[in-house]
Amino acid sequence: MKQFFSFVKKEFYHILRDKRTMLILLGMPIVQIIIFGFALTNEVKNAKIAVLDNSKDLATVAIIQQIKASGYFDIEKNISGGDDINTAFKEGKIKMVMVFPQDFNKDLHHFNKATVQLIADASDPNVANTLTNYATAIIMNYQKRITNDLALPYTINTEIRMLYNPQLEGAYSFVPGVMAMVLMLVCTMMTAITIAREKETGTMEVLLVSPVMPLKIVIAKAVPYLLISIINIGSILLLSVYVLNVPINGSLLLLIGASILFTLTSLALGLLISSVTDSQRTAMFIALIGLFLPTVMLSGFMFPIENMPWPLRLFSNIVPAKWFYTIVKTVMIKGVGFSMIWKEVLLLAGMMTFFLALSIKTFKIRLA
């Protein structure tokens, strides 16, 4: 046991003396929370649009006024002809052009019908869709206002309730995702690289001929990263509660327990990678391409899994982060107990045992 602790101590010195690495390991979650929390949003605000108003009457002025007031759009310029539309788009600044035909108001009041044309730059389909939807909603609003609220017969009143996140804050969905990403990175990538490093610089040879059990050496390597991960979990949770105002609705103990389980799974994966590689670069790329990208892409936190084609959906089931993401969402935000997540917990525990068993089995006590 004493041997083991002196090994753990050695690993701590390795990490503590490398200030740059330390700083990044502990600063990463903070930077990520700030970027995701404040900079990245799928909402579209202040989109630059152009207006081609051939009619310039009461109705068009009122609609343009409302478009301006909504905060979603910045009217960059008023254009006067069809040719200008093309040049405006080519320059890449304008996201949408709104075209009012001649006699818009007249048509509306005489025939009860008038047409607005929205031309969106669909090179980004998301933005195009969102903008068209926003503008349509504003126009419909105007239409409703001028219609004298005719009470139509046979009306269904739909009432919509937003559960868990009534303000529709983006933070609610990415805090769990950032947790999964950071833990995966710190644990898997760092363990894999440090072990590969010992192999590359030749010090592994020295360790393997010492009387310490090889397994102990490897586990001692994982201990500091487990501790760093726990600190990171703490800082992410503190930041999300006090800076982003995301509440922890469920049991904190359960949340931390699940995070530690996920950390252990990631560490086991890191060990597995390190036992099949012997250069830092390979370890790094396996961790990056094989694990980090799937974590970002297929855990459901950046992109909805339901939309993906079935091979990817199937594959997403073996990504540990997907299950962890579900657990954190369920416990932290929905605030329900263990009875709703036992399946996911069991799956993670199973994965951990599997990876650990596999890495012990493939661990070589002799270098080639």
Partner 1 sequence: MKVLLFLLQKEFRQIFRDPTILRIIFAMPIIQLLVLPWAADYEMKNINISVADHDHSPYSQRLISKITASGYFILKDYTASYQQSLADVEKDEADLILEIPESFEKKLVKENKAPLFIAVNAINGVKASLGAAYLASIIQDFNNGVRAEWIQIPRFSPEFHIEVASSNRFNPLQDYKYFMVPGILVLLVTLVGTFLTSSNIVKEKEAGTIEQINVTPIKKYQFILGKLIPFWLLGMVVLAIGLGISRVFYGIISLGSLWVIFGFAAVYLLAILGLGLLISTYCATQQQAMLISFFLMMIFILLGGLYTSIDSMPHWAQLITKVNPVTYFIEVMRMVVLKGSGFSDVKNQLLIVFGFAVFLNGWAVISYRKRS
Q: Judged by CB, which is closer to partner 1: 82, or 357?
A: 82
Residue 28 neighbours by CB under 8 Å, 6+ apart: 182, 185, 186, 232
Other Cβ atoms within 10 Å of 351 Cβ, number: 20
CA distance 359 to 264: 13
CA distance 176 to 187: 17
Q: How far is the CB of 47 from partner 1 (least distance, A)?
A: 6
b/e 145-182 (16+ beta carbons within 10 angstroms → b): eeeeeeeeeeeeeeeeeeeeeeeeebbbbbbbbbbbbb
Q: Judged by CB, which is closer to partner 1: 11, or 200?
A: 200
Q: Judged by CB, which is closer to partner 1: 108, or 269?
A: 108
Q: Looking only at Cα atoms, what is the longest distance across the chain? A: 96
Q: How far is the CB of 1 from partner 1 (least distance, A)?
A: 29
Q: Judged by CB, which is closer to partner 1: 4, or 84?
A: 84
Residue 217's Cα: distance from chain center in Å? 35
CB 119 within 8 A of CB 96: yes
Q: How far is the CB of 359 from partner 1 (least distance, A)?
A: 20
Q: Judged by CB, which is closer to partner 1: 289, or 357?
A: 289
Q: How far is the CB of 266 from partner 1 (least distance, A)?
A: 16
Q: How far is the CB of 289 from partner 1 (least distance, A)?
A: 6
Structure tokens at 252: 């904190």
CA distance 134 to 72: 8
Q: How far is the CB of 23 from partner 1 (least distance, A)?
A: 10
CA distance 218 to 271: 8
CA distance 71 to 143: 20
Other Cβ atoms within 10 Å of 253 Cβ, number: 9
Place of tokens 């099949």: 276
Q: How far is the CB of 229 from partner 1 (least distance, A)?
A: 15
Q: Judged by CB, which is closer to partner 1: 135, or 272?
A: 135
Q: How far is the CB of 353 from partner 1 (least distance, A)?
A: 24
Q: Judged by CB, which is closer to partner 1: 113, or 361?
A: 113
Q: Judged by CB, which is closer to partner 1: 292, or 355?
A: 292
Please, what is the Cα angle at 8 between 5 and 9, to 5 degrees? 90
